[in-house]
Amino acid sequence: MRHLILSLGLAAALAACGGGGGGGDSPDASTASGHWIAGPMAVGDALEFDLTSQASAVHGTGSHAELGGHGGTLSASGTWQAPDLSLTLTYDDGTVRHLQGTLTSGTMMVATVSNADGTMSTQQFNRR
């Protein structure tokens, strides 16, 4: 009986701290703020950005890389209405892409990224 009481006490303490596996600071699905990383992507490609949201406005900065060695920085601006995110990504070389995403959890977003030529790709992003 004593082991059962100790086990229940430990389980309650872990629940109060957010569980036993991650420190208790799980990202909030009610905000777009955070560090977002695209993945999986083709070998040599990378896209990530840090976003800050205040009410419905979102802005941030990030970086990108493409196969063949081109890479650099980007700026992001747009709107947020949980769970939907709409961003304009402006790359340092002048390229502009549009992102329409939906948070599927506090740590995951699925988005469509559109290019100026009308081509689109679907990308998963993870919040770290």
Question: Which has the higher per-residue pLDDT, 33 or 13?
Answer: 33
Higher pLDDT, 38 or 16: 38
Q: Where are any strands of DSSP class E within the chain?
A: 34-38, 46-54, 57-65, 71-81, 84-91, 96-103, 108-114, 120-127
Are the C-beta atoms of residues 26 and 17 closer than 8 Å to each other?
no
Whether residue 52 has pLDDT greater than 90:
yes
Token reading at 67: 């196969």
Residues 6+ positions from 12 with CB-CB distance below 8 Å? none
Query: CATH for 25-127?
Result: 2.40.128.30
Handedness of CA 71, 73, 78, 79 (dihedral sign): positive
Output the six-digit token pair for 121: 């790709």
Please tell me the pTM assigned to this model. Answer: 0.77
pLDDT at 58: 97
Where are the chain's structural domains? Answer: 25-127
Per the prediction, the chain carries an average pLDDT of 82
| 101-113 per-residue burial string, b: 16 or more CB within 10 A, e: under 16 | bebeeeeebebeb
pLDDT for residue 20:
36
**CA atoms in the 13 A half-sphere facing the CB of 2:** 0
Residue bearing the bigger pLDDT, 104 or 69: 104
pLDDT score of 75: 98
Q: What is the pLDDT of residues 71-87, one digit of tens each?
A: 999 999 999 999 999 99
